[in-house]
Amino acid sequence: MEDRFPRLSEEVELDEKWLPLIDYLSTFGLKESHFIQMYERHMPSLQINVCSAKERLEYLLSVGVKQRDVRRMLLRQPQILEYTVENNLKSHVAFLMSLGIPSSRFGQIIAAAPSLFSYSIENSLKPTVRYLVEEVGIKEKDLGKVVQLSPQILVQRIDISWNTRLNFLSEEIGAPRDSIVKMVKKHPQFLHFSIDDGLLPRINFLRSIGMCNADILKVLTSLTQGLSLSLEENLKPRYKYLVNELRNEVHSLTKYPMYLSLSLDQRIRPRHRIYKIFPPKLSYSASQKVVRKIQKRQ
């Protein structure tokens, strides 16, 4: 046993009864260091009967979890090996279905938020959904889309994050409630953004380039994902290119906020080169073909 798993034997009190499970989990790419992580995070997970573990993981694979995602899930939530198919896994999958989420997306959601199974449906998940509908203002028909965009929204404290961000944006840029609801619907990760490290620096950047609060609100409502873009690597270089190379002004961003989400190297620069070479009347589809040709040459 020590010969096969020398580091594991040294780090933990390795029980020979665990070996069948360790061998099975190794087929998903787990190494000794991973088993040590699982042990430190939740030791009982390594005491699970291998047949029970197989049944549970095979069920998750059957509902769409990818084989390559199993290792990451186990490292984040080793308790998942303890959740029974009949009393836990199936009921949580049925809950996802009740939100209008297509079965083709179950695996992706489970892989992104495996801790979902540790939350009570009646005491935690349903109240969270109710809060999203009744307090935040998400329509029931949109719940499935919102959860697909950000599965973590089901397993994080929504009430605190919602009220904090609602108050912040109302006070900082005069954002009305319905505009903030649109932000959440389009980019639910908004609820998880840090105010001091995420929201405020980006709002201050937009102010620094000459935008008033109304313009900032328009940009953030149209392009909420812009709040997750890096200031130094994305927003600032794209703005500088807009002003210095495209000879445009900041007010153009309020008309076309999507510009800030475009890749400078993949989209903006190639298109700019095309428009300098070809007449402005060149059709969009034709210009796209030329852009692709240029990209292939690079």
Q: What is the number of H-type helices and E-type strands within the chain? A: 17, 0
pLDDT in tens, 202-225: 999 999 999 999 999 999 999 888
Percent of the chain at pLDDT > 90 equals 62
- Domain assignments of the chain as residue spans, ordered by start: 269-298
**Average confidence (pLDDT) over 110-133:** 96
User: What is the reported pLDDT for 78?
Assistant: 97
Q: Which two tokens stand for residue 166?
A: 């609602």
Confidence of residue 179 (pLDDT cuts 50, 70, 90): very high
Residue 125 has pLDDT above 80, yes or no: yes
pLDDT in tens, 245-254: 888 888 888 8
Range with the poorest average pLDDT among 54-63, 106-115, 141-150, 243-252: 243-252
**Average confidence (pLDDT) over 78-93:** 97
**Average confidence (pLDDT) over 145-169:** 90
User: What is the reported pLDDT for 284?
Assistant: 44
If DSSP states are collapsed to H, E and C, what string results for 71-138? HHHHHHCHHHHHCCHHHHHHHHHHHHHHCCCCHHHHHHHHHHCHHHHHCCHHHHHHHHHHHHHHHHCC
Neighbouring residues of 91: CB distance < 8 A, sequence distance ≥ 6 = 121
Determine the Cα–Cα distance for residues 93 and 116; give it in Å rounded to an integer: 10
pTM of the predicted model, to two decimals?
0.78
Residue 291 has pLDDT above 80, yes or no: no
